[in-house]
Amino acid sequence: MRTSVTLLGFILRIAVAVATMLKAVILIGGPQKGTRFRPLSFEVPKPLFPVAGVPMIQHHIEACAQVPGMQEILLIGFYQPDEPLTRFLEAAQQEFNLPIRYLQEFVPLGTGGGLYHFRDQILAGGPEAFFVLNADVCSDFPLSAMLDAYRHQPHPFLLLGTTANRTQSLNYGCIVENPQTHEVLHYVEKPSTFVSDVINCGIYLFSPEALKPLRDVFQRNQQDGQLCLPLGEDSSGLWPGAGTIRLEQDVFSALAGQGQIYVHLTDGIWSQIKSAGSALYASRLYLGQYQLTHPERLAKHAPGGPRIRAKVAPSAVEHTCVLHTIVGWGSTVGRWARVEGTPNDPNPNDPRAHMDSESLFKDGKLLPAITILGCRVRIPAEVLILNSIVLPHKELSRSFTNQIIL
């Protein structure tokens, strides 16, 4: 009898999965991106950079795996499938009991080109819809709420949006919505003047029909490329640039106001992760959620329990100050040394504030930011390293301020 009941339950789960089959795509970019993560990205690809104790994209995968009906997670990018990425994918598949595959682009294809290029893989099995998540965002990922909104009012494109203050909205894709229907009436990527305080979070839910506008962009790119070929040059093949599609400019801006794009607003945590400094801020956001979402990842404040959140070698010396700094693997800091950076956190008094878009330089000068020590850097005793970036395998002999030490 137990065998029959178990088999019946298994069959029912299969039936539900087929009826509500979903997929997720995580856009991880490539090594030409993530330059603001250097020198840390020399050692580990940006998508695997640890944020709140786990690789950055593990937060995305965990959120996708919790959505009922999720059948497969695809990573699309231009990274070589090296050992760290392969090892991570194998471990993630075992942990979440889901197929998780990496699809490598032949050239960087933009935020939409990979979706169109691998459309057959995405649509295999006939999913009801598929999530698309940018890897470089931190969020509590309200995917179930997005799915409910999509099923209540199905449309090809559903964008997750949040609010920003007027000044910072200029650094993001800005959305003008119909407040009653939540249709996106107007979309501008990083406008030069204020458009809206609703910004694009880089988290989407697409129906299979969403790939048709991507096909139209591809075909238009192909036609434009052939027109630009020099006279007499063979135009029978595919123009290499035809596959590059920008979701934001080529699709969202073009289709806004045509009843195809809608926005779901969230007041949950959200931040971009464009640099090492924003990764620190994202870690704090995630850690603030862990008491509810992952208490097992936090140290327990019990009698006799651990109270230190970092591992310190028994031979470590004291009297050293490290503030607002990322210390790379295998690095050492000498006695009485001070290693310090300048945080660039959002204004805590503005609930709509986000991390500012961080640039390394202004007017030819390195801007104050967190200090980053690459792997196996040696800082001597009694020196000051302030607002600086030190590349890997460097042994310093003096103090530095506002410099990149090559």
- Burial of 331-342, coded b for 16+ CB within 10 Å and e otherwise, reads bbbbeebbbbbe
Residue that wins the pLDDT comparison between 13 and 343: 343
Closest to 381 measured CA to CA, from 320, 340, 327: 320
For residues 176-203, average pLDDT? 96
pLDDT at 253: 96
The answer for residues whose C-beta is within 8 angstroms of residue 139's C-beta and 6 or more apart is 59, 63, 160, 201, 203, 266, 268, 269, 270, 271
Half-sphere exposure of 331 (CA within 13 A, CB side): 25
pLDDT at 82: 85
pLDDT at 231: 45
Backbone φ and ψ of 43, nearest 5°: -95, -30
Q: At residue 13, does pLDDT exceed 60?
A: no
pLDDT at 196: 95
For residues 146-159, average pLDDT? 96
148 three-class SS: helix
360 three-class SS: coil
Q: Per-residue pLDDT tens for 110-151?
A: 999 999 999 999 999 999 999 999 999 999 999 999 999 999
Q: Identify the structural domains of the chain with CATH numbers, from first to last.
A: 20-225+241-272 (3.90.550.10), 299-401 (no CATH)
Q: Per-residue pLDDT tens for 31-79?
A: 765 556 667 767 778 899 889 989 999 999 999 999 999 999 999 999 9
pLDDT at 395: 92
Q: At residue 94, does pLDDT exceed 90?
A: yes
Q: Which helix (H) or strand (E) holds 336?
A: none
pLDDT at 15: 45
> Distance between CA 361 and CA 389 in Å, rounded?
12
Q: How many CB atoms lie within 10 A of CB 153?
A: 11
What's the pLDDT band for 10 if we cut at 50, 70, 90?
very low
pTM score of the predicted model:
0.83
163, 198 contact by CB (below 8 A) = yes
Average pLDDT, the chain: 85
pLDDT at 17: 44
pLDDT at 277: 79
For residues 100-106, average pLDDT? 95
In the block, tokens 């020590």 appear at 373
Q: At residue 252, does pLDDT exceed 80?
A: yes
Give the chain's radius of gyration (CA, Å). Answer: 24
Q: At residue 295, does pLDDT exceed 80?
A: yes
